[in-house]
Structure 1
Amino acid sequence: MTRAVLGIIGGSGIYDLPGLQDVREETIASPWGEPSAALTRGEIDGLPIVFLPRHGKGHVLSPSDINYRANIDVLKRAGVTDLVSLSACGSFREDLPPGTFVLVDQFVDRTCKRESSFFGKGCVAHVSMAHPVSPRLHVHLAAAAKAESIAAVQGGTYVCMEGPQFSTLAESLMYKAQGFSVIGMTNMPEAKLAREAEICYASVAMVTDFDCWHPDHDAVTVQDIIRVLNSNAGKAKALVARLARDFPREHELCPIGSDRALDSALITAPEARDPQLLKNLDAVAGRVLRS
């Protein structure tokens, strides 16, 4: 059995994680560049926790400027087995009002400016993304939300736009008509990279507004969002604390194989693989490359 290490990526409004014991900061070098910030390590009731603010301390990185590969790589190097993404989002549904937490289980990737894979020329791999969220992690989050009396809806589709601008009205109406639940700017390629790194991943999409399809939200502003962000942040920290207290201390094998995603993913012949790329993949793919 592998010891569980819970990773938390904090989105807009969540730049620290109070309640950690034995807190220390750790800077880990990555061959993929600079991560958003140094990692914060600690424990909650004996469970190792690794926290990373996605936008950096003080929110200095826009969604398009985040080095998603470096973030996932350093979390992997830190031993994270299960990763929870906390993200602000807009809603396309009246029954998902501001303040609601959505435990999404599907994603639509509309980004276009981001490096979305650790693999490429010199070592090609194809992982399955049919089911991007680890079911057991999803269940633990739902149980923690219920225990903390946090309004959380299980299931939903998160469409990830490039940003940093908010949607046009036409885009918002299109996404709503397609049946998507929420919209954000950060969960892709984060979820894809977590799958390549064989880290179980789940996302808590915290609704801040109805997006501009809604007549009462047709001019979404940062000031409007920040007011809801502050309330959501407090609930998110309570959710994480409960999740950690109740979380299994040994990593549970993922029923959909999130933690073994590379078992049959590599297609490049061993003799044709690029040595430098293999060196960069030492943490992400070391398990299969060394076997």
Structure 2
Amino acid sequence: MSDTMIAVIGGSGIYEIDGLENAAWQSVETPWGAPSDQILTGTLGGVKMAFLPRHGRGHVHTPTSVPYRANIDALKRLGVTDVISVSAVGSFREEMAPGDFVVVDQFIDRTFAREKSFFGPGLVAHVSVAHPTCPRLSEACFTAATNAGITVHKGGTYLAMEGPQFSTLAESKMYREHWGADVIGMTNMPEAKLAREAELCYASVAMVTDYDSWHPDHGEVDVAEIIATLTGNAQKGRDLVARLPALLGASRAPCPHGCDRALEFAILTAPDARDPAMIAKLDAVAGRVLTP
């Protein structure tokens, strides 16, 4: 058994955790640069918590400029075991209405301007992201949302686009009608892939703000309407987070789905061919399998 430490990566509209005890903002240095912001740590219901505003306080990072590698590395350095991503999305499904939440379980990655791995030349690794979210952690998020009275959908495919512009009508129809995506956002990739490389359990809670541009009755995305929906979703998101410590507990067994052992057989570079500089950079992310 190990201590549970839950990290919440807050997206648009989520900038705090209610009721956090012994709260303090911490600066964390990483080999990948500075995270999006300082990280707020404390305890909630007897469980260690961390909160990282994905876009930085004041919303200073675009979806592309978010330092995803630094964020995940920093959380790992703090001892985080479970990462809850909270983010705003558009919906491709009539039944997934603005104000609803979706506990995402699949992704289509259409981003192209971001570093997507901690590994590279000199230290090569391939992890599986066939199932990119942790079923145990996702179930806890679904239960927490249900208990909070939130309309929540279990399972869904998140189309990650580069942004920062919203989709064209043609793109929106293609993603919905031909690709089978359920929601669209700009920030869960490469975040989910990096969490897997760092052997962190990861769950994605998508908060629907609009119907993207496909819906015949809603037309193009209206930013004013999105912001209004975000305000309501933010409180719902905090209500969900407040229920997670009781569901996950202060101590945890190894992940039954192997998220915390994702690197067990992933590194292909022979030990005597590994770049010492890369090994040093990966001390937090992959130290478990790289340290003799």
| TMscore range, shorter length | over 0.9
Q: 2:152 — aligned with what?
A: 152
Q: 2:196 — aligned with what?
A: 195
Q: Does 1:15 align with 2:15?
A: yes
Amino acid at match of 1:14: I
- C-alpha distance in structure 2 between counterparts of 1:110 and 1:248, whole Å: 36
Specify the SS of the correspondent of 1:218.
coil
- C-alpha distance in structure 1 between counterparts of 2:200 and 2:13, whole Å: 24
Q: 2:101 — aligned with what?
A: 101
Q: 1:114 — aligned with what?
A: 114
Contact 1:106 1:132 in 2 (8 A): yes
Runs of 4+ in 1 over 4 A off after TM superposition: none
Mapping 1:59-208, distance limit 5 Å? 59-177=59-177, 178-208=179-209
Gaps of 5+ in 2: none
- C-alpha distance in structure 1 between counterparts of 2:256 and 2:247, whole Å: 20
Specify the SS of the correspondent of 1:72.
helix
**TM-score (normalised: structure 2):** 0.98
Contact 1:102 1:152 in 2 (8 A): yes
Amino acid at match of 1:9: I
Q: 2:237 — aligned with what?
A: 236
Q: 1:211 — aligned with what?
A: 212
Amino acid at match of 2:285: V
- C-alpha distance in structure 2 between counterparts of 1:146 and 1:218, whole Å: 30
- C-alpha distance in structure 2 between counterparts of 1:240 and 1:91, whole Å: 22
In the TM superposition, what whole-angstrom CA distance separates every residue of 1:58-110 from its partner, at most 9, and x where no partner exists? 00100001010000000000100000000000000000000010001001100
Amino acid at match of 2:27: T
Deviation at 1:145, TM superposition (A): 1.3
**TM-score (normalised: structure 1):** 0.98
- C-alpha distance in structure 2 between counterparts of 1:154 and 1:114, whole Å: 28
- C-alpha distance in structure 2 between counterparts of 1:218 and 1:253, whole Å: 47
Specify the SS of the correspondent of 2:252.
coil
Amino acid at match of 1:81: T
Q: Does 1:33 align with 2:52?
A: no
- C-alpha distance in structure 2 between counterparts of 1:219 and 1:168, whole Å: 9
Specify the SS of the correspondent of 1:103.
strand
Deviation at 1:220, TM superposition (A): 1.0
Deviation at 1:172, TM superposition (A): 0.1
Contact 2:161 2:185 in 1 (8 A): yes
Mapping 1:245-260, distance limit 5 Å? 245-260=246-261
Contact 1:44 1:245 in 2 (8 A): no
- C-alpha distance in structure 1 between counterparts of 2:222 and 2:77, whole Å: 37
Gaps of 5+ in 1: none
Contact 2:98 2:211 in 1 (8 A): yes
- C-alpha distance in structure 1 between counterparts of 2:79 and 2:137, whole Å: 17
Contact 1:135 1:255 in 2 (8 A): no
Size of the aligned set, in residue pairs, is 291
Contact 1:106 1:157 in 2 (8 A): yes
User: Which stretch of structure 1 is more off in the superposition, 85-94 or 244-253?
Assistant: 244-253
Contact 2:90 2:210 in 1 (8 A): yes
Identity of aligned residues (%): 58
- C-alpha distance in structure 2 between counterparts of 1:17 and 1:105, whole Å: 24
Q: 1:222 — aligned with what?
A: 223
- C-alpha distance in structure 2 between counterparts of 1:80 and 1:251, whole Å: 12
Specify the SS of the correspondent of 1:183.
strand
Contact 1:135 1:254 in 2 (8 A): no
- C-alpha distance in structure 1 between counterparts of 2:71 and 2:224, whole Å: 28
- C-alpha distance in structure 1 between counterparts of 2:228 and 2:245, whole Å: 27
Amino acid at match of 1:77: R
In the TM superposition, what whole-angstrom CA distance separates every residue of 1:13-36 from its partner, at most 9, and x where no partner exists? 111222111101110100001110
